[in-house]
């Protein structure tokens, strides 16, 4: 039985899943799993959103300025974990290479843009 020659090209169709969304990432936390995969959780960080605010009410019954000393909120910075990502070494290496290429392209674009500014 003769082996078939591999095709000269292949097309990949990118279809967004029902859960597709754009996630802003400020950092990540993770490591190597017991079976040797790489896992990390990506997070965005921000100031905490107040849990409760209290506002004055003016003579017309409209909400007026906040009474800041009555605000209830968390102290510190919130790191909201957006997504957990698991990948094998081959995928991590491919992603590492891809990110390196995009970092270099971004640096070149920024360098070119800064030279074009008056």
Do the beta carbons of residue 16 and residue 22 sit within 8 Å?
no
Is 21 a residue whose pLDDT tops 70?
Answer: yes
Question: With pLDDT > 90 as the criterion, what percentage of the chain qualifies?
Answer: 82
Mean pLDDT of the chain: 93
Check residue 91 and give its pLDDT. 97
Is 6 a residue whose pLDDT tops 80?
Answer: yes
What are the residue ranges spanned by the domains of the chain? 25-87, 89-118
Check residue 1 and give its pLDDT. 72
Summarize the confidence of residues 94-106 as an average pLDDT: 97
Do the beta carbons of residue 43 and residue 67 sit within 8 Å?
no
For residue range 50-96, list pLDDT tens digits in order.
999 999 999 999 999 999 999 999 999 999 999 999 999 999 999 99
Check residue 75 and give its pLDDT. 93
The dihedrals phi and psi of 31, each to the nearest 5 degrees, come to: 175, -160
Is 2 a residue whose pLDDT tops 80?
Answer: no
Check residue 118 and give its pLDDT. 67
Is 101 a residue whose pLDDT tops 90?
Answer: yes
Task: For residue 100, count other CB atoms closer than 10 A to its CB.
Answer: 10
**Rounded CA gap, 118 and 116, in Å?**
6
Summarize the confidence of residues 94-104 as an average pLDDT: 97
Dihedral sign computed on CA atoms, order 108, 109, 110, 116: positive
């Amino acid at each position: 039985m003769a082996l078939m020659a591999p095709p000269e090209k292949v097309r990949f169709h990118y279809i967004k899943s029902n859960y597709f969304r754009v996630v802003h990432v400020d950092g990540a936390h993770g490591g190597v799993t017991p079976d040797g995969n790489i896992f990390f959780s990506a997070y965005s960080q921000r100031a905490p959103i107040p849990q409760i605010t209290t506002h004055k009410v003016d003579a017309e019954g409209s909400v007026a300025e906040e009474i800041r000393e009555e605000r209830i909120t968390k102290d510190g910075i919130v790191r909201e974990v957006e997504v957990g990502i698991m990948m094998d070494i081959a995928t991590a290496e491919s992603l590492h290479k891809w990110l390196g290429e995009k970092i270099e392209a971004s640096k070149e674009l920024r360098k070119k843009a800064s030279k074009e500014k008056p």
